[in-house]
């Protein structure tokens, strides 16, 4: 399942968020392309994904708190669950207890797609209604 920010379902016309979502998508695409490849490459992309997820979610959460987004707590919880999954996956692959497989990538793509098109779209509309520019 190819995903791209060019798809309008992923764009909010909020440059800072659109750019960050594109970077997340690019990392997952890179992971997908690395399935069956060299472990050092997979480790590098997984480490980068874990760090980027943490940084992106922190950015979103700070912005949502600053603008008093009413669904902040549930949005933050979604982030915490996904970040824990990525951290756990990364640790298991580094320890040799799991392999990067297409079903794992399918889950990552599905989660990201649903999160951006659902939860993130809600806060984007909320911010736009309040005239917030990032």
Fold classified for 45-134: 1.20.120
pLDDT band at 6 (very low <50, low <70, confident <90, very high): low
The secondary structure of the chain as a DSSP string is ----TTSGGG--S-HHHHHHHHHHHHHHHHHHHHTTS-HHHHHHHHHHHHHHHHHHHHHHHHHHHHTT-TTHHHHHHHHHHHHHHHHHHHHHHHTTS----HHHHHHHHHHHHHHIIIIIHHHHHHHHHTT---
Residue 18 vs residues 6, 31, 33, 35: alpha-carbon distances, Å? 10, 20, 22, 26
- The tens digit of pLDDT for each residue in 97-122 reads 888 888 888 899 999 999 999 999 99
* pLDDT for 5: 47
* Domain ranges across the chain: 45-134
pTM of the entire predicted model: 0.88
- The tens digit of pLDDT for each residue in 31-40 reads 988 888 888 8
Non-local (6+) Cβ contacts of 122 within 8 A are: 71
């Amino acid at each position: 399942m190819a995903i791209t920010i060019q798809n309008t379902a992923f764009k909010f016309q909020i440059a800072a968020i659109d750019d960050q979502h594109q970077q997340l998508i690019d990392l997952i695409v890179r992971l997908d392309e690395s399935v069956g490849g060299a472990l050092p490459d997979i480790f590098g992309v997984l480490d980068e994904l874990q760090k980027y997820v943490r940084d992106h979610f922190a950015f979103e959460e700070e912005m949502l708190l600053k603008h008093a987004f009413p669904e902040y707590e549930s949005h933050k919880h979604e982030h915490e669950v996904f970040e824990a999954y990525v951290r756990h996956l990364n640790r298991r692959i580094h320890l040799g207890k799991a392999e990067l497989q297409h079903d794992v990538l399918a889950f990552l793509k599905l989660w990201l797609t649903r999160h951006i098109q659902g939860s993130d779209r809600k806060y984007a509309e909320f911010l736009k209604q309040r005239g917030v520019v990032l």
